[in-house]
Amino acid sequence: MLHSGDLVFLFLLMIGVIYFMITYVFRSPSPYGTVKDEEITGPVPKWLNEEGYTVIAEKERTPVWIQIGDDTFESRLYTDYLATRSNQLYVVVVAKRRKPLRYTGAALRDYFLPHYLAYKPAGILYLDMEKQQIEEIRFTVEVGYTPSPRRTWVKYLVAMGVGACLVILLQ
């Protein structure tokens, strides 16, 4: 049985839950990490600026923790530069003479996929300063179906709405 004020409390509770769900779903951390205030200079940022990119960070060090059973291992992922163009993030990797890039699927995956997974960029720019060449690398990863967090929250919202309607109808 409903008591006086129960329906008002139910709607206020639903509004609060919906508000927190929406702010959780649409809140996204900045993909750019910590952007430095001072201007980044050097031959690579100058070249990227000429190509239409804006360098926002250099020498990024992203910590990575790996857990196997009870053991936790610490590592880090080094990124040369982060750049933007048209409000899209690009990871910039500068070619190293000592470590030439092999153009095979496995080598490209092993070298660039960690950067893609860490930053989810629009693309990865591979800069070869000696050849004066920029190559854009993009990943398309096909995986099995996993429900997105938004779909899961939508199911909860629909269930709450149906429940509220049932409460109103069964008064």
Query: Going residue by residue through the chain (171 aa), what tens digit of pLDDT does each one get?
Result: 567 777 888 888 889 888 887 777 665 544 454 455 567 888 889 998 998 999 998 888 889 899 999 999 999 989 899 999 998 999 999 988 888 888 888 999 898 989 888 888 999 999 988 888 889 999 887 777 666 666 667 778 888 888 888 888 877
CA distance 41 to 139: 29
pTM across the whole model: 0.59
Rounded CA-CA distance 94/111 in Å is: 12
Number of residues that make up the chain: 171
